[in-house]
């Protein structure tokens, strides 16, 4: 199968590319590299012995995308392209609406023009309205009354996909609602290396462990949880990538939503402590005031994905921390050599 990966040079996209290629699929990556590193195809090739086809283009550019679809035989699309930082979306909502919505609209119009109806869409657990008591199922409330524009763009796109599938029976769509992707490929060759201040916990812990930051900020320790810190569902990025493969293999008419998580939660202090045990030393942290809008506990009900996609996460928090540290150590070694 020839699979187009939009945003395929990014953290999640590169791991999806690896898993697809290891199963014999042909991968075509498109990315404009605004939040990803060039040369990722070389690292993917080191892991899989196959170099993916890669194109430097903006998916929102109809002309460029049309040219690609005209010359490349594409069977299916996994749509990962889009801005994804919650805090940034609050500061600059127009950027998020313009990019995330126009990119998806242009992609769907081009797919329709070329008779491509198989789509896996990268959504997010941020589409769920808060507060929602865990475990969160796919039937939990989803809507526009959300706390950030990023989540709202995902909810709007999900609605669009349901409307499109209802209007055109040739479309087969899986909507994957991620919880908290963490870790890296076990080879240490690909992983998450955000520019600027990371938006997620584990990269910050890794940077503290590597000496690039003084300490981890823990936002609140008075939540109604066993240790007072927030509890979240952390899923290893390779398990997440395999969830995309499972969804692609089981596409069916209509639009269908699935949670991708582990089905259990870990607190912030769990993550910091586990990372410290993996590397053999304590990770310094400081408790700060809780952020407005943070909920105490959030984790997924993954029963539907297990039942309909024959998929489940198998990697532990220890695996995630170990693989993340292997990747973080490689980043530090590369910086020291350069």
The pLDDT score that the predictor gives to residue 333 is: 62
Distance CA 283, CA 321 (A): 12
Query: What is the band of 334 on the pLDDT scale with cuts at 50, 70, 90?
Result: low
Percent with pLDDT over 90 in the chain:
86
- Model confidence at 79, pLDDT cuts 50, 70, 90, reads very high
Give SS3 for 32: coil
Q: In the numeric block, which tokens belong to residue 83?
A: 């801005």
Domain limits for position 40: 2-184+234-263+299-314
CB 154 within 8 A of CB 128: no
- What are residue 28's DSSP bridge partners? 4, 53
Enter the tokens of residue 227.
Answer: 């240790």
Is the pLDDT score of 321 beyond 90?
Answer: yes
Whole-number pLDDT of residue 235: 98
Number of helical H runs and strand E runs in the chain: 12, 14
Residue 222 lies in a domain: no
Question: pLDDT at residue 168 above 90?
Answer: yes
At residue 332 the predicted structure's pLDDT band, cuts being 50, 70 and 90, is low
CB 300, CB 135: distance < 8 Å: yes
21 within a domain of the structure (yes/no): yes
Q: Are 224 and 263 in contact (CB under 8 A)?
A: no
Q: What is the pLDDT of residue 146?
A: 67
- 152 located within any domain: yes
DSSP 8-state code for residue 214 = S
In this prediction the pTM is 0.96
**Sorting pLDDT into bands at 50, 70 and 90, what band is 13?**
very high
Angle formed at CA 142 by CA 141 and CA 146, multiple of 5 degrees: 110
Output the pLDDT for position 337: 54
Q: Is residue 198 part of a domain?
A: no
Q: Do residues 191 and 322 make contact, with C-beta atoms less than 8 angstroms apart?
A: no
- pLDDT at residue 36, rounded to an integer: 86
CA 74 to each of CA 2, 20, 24: distance values in angstroms, whole numbers, following the listed order: 5, 14, 15
Q: Is residue 308 part of a domain?
A: yes
pLDDT in tens, 117-163: 999 999 999 999 877 789 999 999 997 656 789 999 999 999 999 99
pLDDT at position 145 is 58
Does 24 fall in a domain? yes
Task: Give the pLDDT confidence score for residue 78 in this predicted structure.
Answer: 98
pLDDT at 191 (0 to 100): 95
* Cα–Cα distance, 230 to 224 (Å, whole number): 8
Pairing between strand 231-232 and 297-298?
Answer: parallel
* pLDDT value of position 330: 86
Put residue 97 in one of left, alpha, beta given phi > 0 → left and psi -120 to 50 → alpha: alpha
Name residues whose C-beta falls within 8 Å of residue 67's C-beta, 6 or more positions apart in sequence.
Answer: none
Q: How far apart are CA 210 and CA 38, in angstroms?
A: 23
Give pLDDT tens digits for 238-263. Answer: 999 999 999 999 999 999 999 999 99
- Which residue, chain included where needed, has tokens 């699935």? 258
Structure token digits, residue 148: 């950030």
pLDDT tens digits for range 25-59: 999 999 999 888 889 999 999 999 999 999 999 99
As annotated, the active-site residues are 150
CATH number (domain holding residue 42): 3.40.50.720
Q: According to the model, what pLDDT value does residue 169 have?
A: 95
Separation CA 147–CA 126 (nearest Å): 9
Is 334 a domain residue?
no
pLDDT score recorded for residue 335? 57
Residue 144 lies in a domain: yes
Q: What is the pLDDT of residues 207-231, one digit of tens each?
A: 999 999 999 999 999 999 999 999 9
| Alpha carbons 21 and 43: distance in angstroms, whole number | 13
Does the pLDDT at position 97 exceed 70?
yes
User: Mean pLDDT for the chain?
Assistant: 94
Domain count, the chain: 1
pLDDT tens for each residue of 264-291: 999 999 999 999 999 999 999 999 999 8
| DSSP secondary structure code for residue 115 in this structure | T
pLDDT of res. 197? 77
């Amino acid at each position: 199968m020839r699979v187009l990966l939009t945003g395929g040079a990014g953290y999640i996209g590169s791991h999806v590319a690896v898993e697809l290629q290891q199963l014999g699929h042909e991968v075509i990556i498109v990315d404009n590299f605004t939040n990803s590193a060039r040369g990722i195809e070389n690292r993917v090739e080191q892991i899989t012995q196959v170099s993916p086809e890669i194109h430097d283009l903006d998916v929102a550019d109809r002309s460029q995308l049309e040219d690609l679809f005209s010359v490349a035989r594409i069977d299916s699309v996994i749509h990962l392209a889009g801005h994804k930082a919650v805090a940034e979306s609050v500061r600059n909502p127009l950027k998020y609406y313009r990019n995330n919505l126009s990119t998806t609209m242009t992609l769907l119009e081009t797919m329709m023009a070329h008779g491509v109806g198989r789509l896996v869409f990268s959504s997010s657990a941020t589409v769920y309205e808060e507060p929602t008591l865990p475990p969160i199922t796919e039937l939990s409330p989803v809507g526009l009354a959300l706390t950030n524009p990023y989540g709202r763009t995902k909810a709007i796109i999900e609605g669009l996909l349901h409307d499109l599938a209802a209007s055109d029976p040739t479309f087969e769509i899986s909507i994957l609602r991620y919880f908290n992707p963490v870790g890296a490929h076990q080879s240490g060759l690909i992983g998450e290396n955000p520019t600027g201040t990371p938006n997620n916990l584990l990269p910050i812990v890794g940077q503290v462990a590597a000496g690039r930051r003084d300490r981890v900020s823990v936002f609140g320790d008075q939540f109604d949880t066993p240790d007072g810190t927030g509890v979240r569902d952390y899923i290893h990025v390779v398990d997440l990538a395999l969830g995309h493969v499972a969804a692609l293999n089981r596409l069916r008419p209509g639009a269908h939503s699935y949670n991708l998580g582990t089905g259990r939660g870990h607190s912030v202090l769990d993550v910091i402590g586990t990372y410290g045990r993996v590397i053999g030393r304590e990770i310094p942290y400081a408790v700060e005031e809780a952020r407005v809008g943070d909920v105490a506990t959030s984790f997924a009900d993954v029963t539907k994905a297990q039942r309909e996609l024959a998929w489940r996460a198998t990697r532990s928090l220890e695996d995630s921390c170990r693989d993340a540290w292997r990747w973080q150590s490689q980043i530090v070694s590369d910086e020291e050599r350069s």
